[in-house]
Structure 1
Amino acid sequence: MKLKQLTITFLTFCVAAFSGIKAASAASFSVIADGLYSPGGLSFSPDGNLYVTEAGIGGSGGCVPPSSGQGDSLCYGKSGAVTKIENGKTERILTGLPSLALPDGTGAAGPRDIKFDAQGKPYILIGYGANPTFRDRNLGNTDLGKIIAPDFNTNSWKSVADLGNYELANNPDGGDVDSNPLGFLIDGNKLVAVDAGANDLLSVNTDGRNLQSITAFSKDVLTNPVFPPSGTPSNEPAQVPSEGEVVRSQFASQAVPSSVAKGPDGAYYISQFTGFPFPENGAKIYRVGADGKPTVYADGFTQLTDLEFDTKGNLYALQYANQSAWKGDFDGSVIKIAPDGTRTTLLSGDGLESPSALTIGADGAVYVTNRGDRPGDGQVLRIENIKSVPEPNSAFGVLAIAAFGVGCLHKKRAIKPPINGAVALK
């Protein structure tokens, strides 16, 4: 079982288990883009403009079975896009990108993240969310499950690396063959990405050479997990205990890495969404250093979708939902983790719903893609006016650096079909 539809300089380290400090905060946000179709990653280019990916709504092309082998098939279209936000205006500057989604347009896999190198060259990560065996066989030659290099001036792109094919050929975690790349970063001449379906961290040169797995993430063994009640809509129907069935006291859940950020120490930090049944407070942030071995940096989160460091070494973590997704409450949170381990919740709920990614602007504000699982209703938020007052909180474990889709759970809704291969902004 993998994620279904729904991302070096060595310093001294110490393990600290202590009574953490959590801060209550008051923040406001403004909506700077609306009407997006399953928005994913977002990034500022060197020219200061903000770019956001849209996974789209799939289409009427070929279809592939979902990873679980149950439920509706995922069908292909060219409804993915990249939108630029400049001076309060939005413009789709790249359209016709590959998209894969359920028949109602939810649960989309498509453009999931975008990054710019030091020279301003963009790279885009395209998700997939199924067994790569079916990709070429059922869909033809698409760029699902790949990293591409686009040309915004000509509305074209070229493939750089095929992460889906790497999973098919190597399967680093030794589990089911599945690929769903969700997030990546640019580190010099390397692209470093997480594959949530394959449960691994990969790197490849920007010229496409030396694609390899850095590490694979093991399953989490949950003790007395909480499952959805029998009959609850689920993207893992085979895993929901039937009425009267004895619930297992231990359950092996997929790791599901969702994003990667580079820390001030040069290590990679990886957020964990967690697999079904999406245990509350069960998500971790992993650190992967020069030895390539993942260790737990911080824990006690729920369904993390993204991470980002600011210039002061604070780590911002984004929760897709504060409760297990199958409960139907998709209020999310933005949490800041200071270098000393202090946690501050900047925003929780109050309009923050199933957020998918974040980035830090040069202005110090936090920008978030909101309603990332809702085609036509996605947003980009700018969180500002952050004020906090520390207050005591329960203990948590943190490794501190010294000196420094579930869219199928929503009610189905009518989606405006794409026009000329692209969806139109509201």
Structure 2
Amino acid sequence: MKLKPLTITFLTFCVATFSGMKAASAASFSVIANGLYNAGGLSFGPDGNLYVTEAGIGGSGACVPPPSGQGGSLCYGRSGAVTKIENGKTERILTGLPSLALPDGSGGAGPRDIKFDATGKPYVLIGYGANPAFRDRNLGNTDLGKIITPDFNTNSWTTIADLANYELANNPDGGDVDSNPLGFVIDGKKLVLADAGANDLLSVNTDGRNLQAIAAFPQDILTNPIFPPSDTPSNEPAQVPSQGEAVQSQFATQAVPSSVIKGPDGAYYVSQFTGFPFPEGGAKIYRVGADGKPTVYADGFTQLTNLQFDHEGNLYALQYANQSAWKGNLDGSVIKIATDGTRTTLLSGNGLESPSALTIGSDGAVYVTNRGDSPGQGQVLRIENTKSVPEPDSVLGVLAIGALGVGLLHNKRTTQLPIDRVVVLK
């Protein structure tokens, strides 16, 4: 059975309280964009400006059931967008993209990632987060669950491939039918995409041909899992032991792929967002080679949302929250994994809250979409002065890339938004 954690969207388990922020590094950051609606992936364009996706807040259109079968329905609108950040200003340069969300705007599924190919052509990934059978039946003709290529000059786009329909027709992992593509990488003339709902890695040519699954990811079996108290709000209420009920010593959970990046060795590296009950230290980074078999490259993380390599072969991992999400503390972390396996934390908490994606600029700074599940409160942070604090030796599981360090491909209505906050962590 493919368990359906709210984590496949990072969207319906929104906790309003943020507490216990801890100083953990000597990095500083500035807020370069504010007021974003369910901010997702970000990438530098050929013009040197930063582009970020906004999943939007749904709308008053038709609705579909949530993936877990619990909670309110997700309703359709055209509130998704792509926003450009240039010289302290933000401008929504692509609007009217499809979006699903709860009535309060949380749980937003829509534009989730953006990348530019070697010619400067943009591609945008649109999430979905429900059973694909409901999409056309309930919502009509929409681009949810697809990859598109936009024309920013005409505010239009062309559909490249229908990932949700592929899941409906093929269901590669054999579990529940669901699709929610969240991240992708461009590899020459090929797009490689992580579908959290389908629990697989897909490949498709940039012209839309040869859409296929190249890997599926295994269930995790938790030993002596820690569950929230029985009176704690949860997206999986049926799985929370009631008062007096014996807690299972072995518990199957579906941890889903949340992003993918190509490594210096030519393999794909995939971040894992752990399923309910979101075990701390339970998330992994998988390596998928030419044989399509996922192997664990690194472990000991918590609720990973994104990965990025720099030119030196260092891998950066983004944690949505450092604690189990149900605890209500959504302080996140940026963790750097050196080629020798050493881990350092660049930033943890202190304003970094439920981050969704990161990229590395030509200036060497790390850019992060912050508060990615908070409609109207999303931000883009620029992290600099990245002196960092080594992780404890107890965090194990890295297989170093080592001598494989070769040149990498990486992500190279107008409102004035000044850099409104600079925080220096002591």
Unaligned runs of 5+ in 1: 8-23, 405-421
Counterpart for residue 321 of structure 1: 321
Please say if 1:6 is aligned against 2:10: yes
Aligned-residue offset at 1:239: 1.3
How far apart, CA to CA, are the structure 1 residues paired with 2:240 and 2:168? 28
Please say if 1:251 is aligned against 2:255: no
Alignment of structure 1 residues 321-400 onto 2, 5 Å: 321-388=321-388, 390=390, 393-400=393-400
Larger fraction in strand: 1
Change beyond 3 A, Cα 1:172–1:392: closer
Counterpart for residue 20 of structure 1: none
Change beyond 3 A, Cα 1:67–1:395: closer
TM-superposition CA deviations, 1:197-251 (whole Å, max 9, x none): 1110000000000000001001001111111110211111221111111111111
Q: What amino acid is the match of 2:61?
A: G
Aligned-residue offset at 1:424: 8.6
Counterpart for residue 401 of structure 1: 401
Alignment of structure 1 residues 12-411 onto 2, 5 Å: 25-388=25-388, 390=390, 393-404=393-404
Counterpart for residue 10 of structure 1: none
Aligned-residue offset at 1:393: 2.6
Aligned-residue offset at 1:399: 1.7
Change beyond 3 A, Cα 1:284–1:106: same
Q: Give % identity.
A: 84
How far apart, CA to CA, are the structure 1 residues paired with 2:133 and 2:416? 34
Aligned-residue offset at 1:3: 3.9
Aligned-residue offset at 1:25: 3.3
Q: Is the 8 A contact 1:200 1:215 kept in 2?
A: yes
Q: What amino acid is the match of 1:28?
A: S
Change beyond 3 A, Cα 1:142–1:338: same
Change beyond 3 A, Cα 1:161–1:423: farther
How far apart, CA to CA, are the structure 2 residues paired with 1:302 and 1:391? 14
Aligned-residue offset at 1:256: 0.5
Q: Is the 8 A contact 2:267 2:290 kept in 1?
A: yes
Aligned-residue offset at 1:262: 0.4
Q: What amino acid is the match of 1:265?
A: D
How far apart, CA to CA, are the structure 1 residues paired with 2:239 and 2:414? 35
How far apart, CA to CA, are the structure 2 residues paired with 1:393 and 1:185? 31
How far apart, CA to CA, are the structure 2 residues paired with 1:220 and 1:178? 18
Aligned-residue offset at 1:425: 9.0
Q: Is the 8 A contact 1:256 1:272 kept in 2?
A: yes
SS at match of 1:403: helix
How far apart, CA to CA, are the structure 2 residues paired with 1:105 and 1:423? 22
TM-score, length-scaled by structure 2: 0.90
Aligned CA-pair RMSD: 1.6
Q: Is the 8 A contact 1:2 1:198 kept in 2?
A: no
Aligned length: 393
TM-superposition CA deviations, 1:116-152 (whole Å, max 9, x none): 0001000000000000010000000100000001000
How far apart, CA to CA, are the structure 2 residues paired with 1:423 and 1:127? 26
Q: What amino acid is the match of 2:79?
A: S
How far apart, CA to CA, are the structure 2 residues paired with 1:189 and 1:151? 19
Change beyond 3 A, Cα 1:195–1:123: same
Q: What amino acid is the match of 1:2?
A: K
Change beyond 3 A, Cα 1:150–1:344: same
